[in-house]
């Protein structure tokens, strides 16, 4: 049972009835679930990650106003939950600084994306790191009586303006071509093998970012990016050649893997046979917001 499943089962077994009995005024005013930092919030936890943060806890989120009225009562109720469930201990660490227990929705978004509201200005979207958005929208909401969490999570997940997506993707495609098709062979021709390998790693990083952008999903923290590729709705086939590039190989296999990833992306974008550099130029030229179009082609915003 992964962390999300454990958390939901614990809530359904004990938490729901406890909240209804202890704080009936909370009905219609709270959101409950698990989200935020940690592998278990992405559903990626396993036996190796259970040495920390694996527990049958859940979060109760309130508005700032309701936190004043109900926060103490709900925190007291949470602390009365069973201390063990399915053989796993409940740590009972709660509050704004914890992943579990009672906190505010505004506090959650402030701690994950650095703001409490979904951006309305495209330039503000350029300043949001992908991994921060991924943390804000991961996990699972078990109940959301008034849409306290859901509306903003959906806004952060799906609300990126198309011009921002075009700019970010164009930049990644251009940087892929620069690293993979230009700098990698150039460094090899100079006999600088370490620099050539760094160019490959740069290519992989930009390629992964491009794949997530094409898939329309926020890219998580670096150690979960490869794992997350397998869950995307498109381009999961890039996992194998990108993995090969990270592991390293001879020049021929490296060039072949780069060509393969390039062709997969171009095909998914409906431009089979087009170079990534040309695709990047066309994408950048199609941006309608003048402020975004005037950014440098290779400017992809916060990483």
Tokens of 215: 């898939």
pTM above 0.85, yes or no: yes
Supply the mean pLDDT for the chain. 94
Radius of gyration of the chain (CA): 22
| CB atoms closer than 10 angstroms to residue 273 | 7
Residue 49 has pLDDT above 90, yes or no: no
CB 198 within 8 A of CB 229: no
Specify the long-range contacts of residues 211-214, CB closer than 8 Å, at least 24 apart: 211/235, 211/238, 211/265, 212/130, 213/165, 213/168, 213/169, 213/172, 214/169, 214/265, 214/268, 214/269
Buried (b) or exposed (e) across 111-145, using 16+ Cβ within 10 A? bbbebeebbeebeebbebbbbbbbbbbbbebbbbe
| Mean pLDDT of the region 72-85 | 94
How does residue 61 score in pLDDT terms, banded at 50, 70 and 90? very high
pLDDT (0 to 100) of residue 55: 85
pLDDT (0 to 100) of residue 166: 98
Residue 38 has pLDDT above 90, yes or no: no
Tens of pLDDT along 188-226?
Answer: 999 999 999 999 999 999 999 999 999 999 999 999 999
CB 184 within 8 A of CB 200: yes
Tens of pLDDT along 86-102?
Answer: 998 887 665 555 679 99
pLDDT (0 to 100) of residue 292: 98
Q: Vertex 231, ends 229 and 234: CA angle to 5°?
A: 75
CB 128 within 8 A of CB 245: no
Domain range summary for the chain, segments of one domain joined by +: 3-158, 162-293
């Amino acid at each position: 049972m992964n962390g999300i499943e454990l958390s939901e089962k614990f809530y359904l077994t004990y938490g729901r009835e406890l909240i209804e009995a202890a704080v009936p005024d909370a009905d219609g005013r709270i959101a409950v679930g698990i989200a935020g930092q940690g592998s278990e919030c992405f559903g990626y936890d396993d036996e190796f990650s259970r040495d920390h943060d694996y527990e049958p806890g859940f979060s109760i989120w309130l508005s700032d106003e309701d936190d004043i009225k109900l926060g103490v009562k709900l925190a007291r109720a949470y602390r009365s939950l069973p201390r063990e469930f399915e053989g796993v201990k409940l740590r009972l660490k709660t509050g704004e600084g914890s992943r579990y227990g009672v906190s505010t929705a505004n506090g959650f978004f402030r701690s994950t994306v650095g703001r409490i509201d979904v951006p309305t200005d495209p330039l503000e979207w350029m300043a949001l790191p992908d991994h921060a958005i991924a943390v804000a929208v991961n996990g699972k909401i078990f109940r959301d009586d008034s849409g306290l969490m859901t509306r903003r999570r959906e806004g952060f997940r799906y609300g990126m303006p198309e011009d921002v997506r075009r700019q970010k993707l164009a930049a990644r495609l251009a940087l892929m071509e620069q690293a993979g098709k230009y700098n990698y062979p150039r460094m090899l021709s100079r006999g600088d093998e370490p620099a050539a390998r760094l160019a490959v790693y740069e290519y992989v990083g930009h390629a992964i970012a491009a794949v997530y952008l094409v898939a329309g999903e926020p890219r998580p923290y670096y150690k979960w990016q490869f794992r997350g590729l397998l869950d995307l709705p498109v381009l999961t086939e890039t996992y194998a050649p990108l993995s090969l590039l990270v592991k390293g190989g001879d020049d021929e296999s490296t060039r072949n893997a780069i060509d393969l990833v390039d062709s997969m992306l171009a095909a998914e974008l409906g431009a089979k046979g087009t170079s990534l550099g040309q695709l990047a130029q066309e994408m950048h030229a199609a941006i309608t917001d003048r402020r975004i179009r005037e950014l440098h082609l290779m400017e992809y915003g916060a990483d």
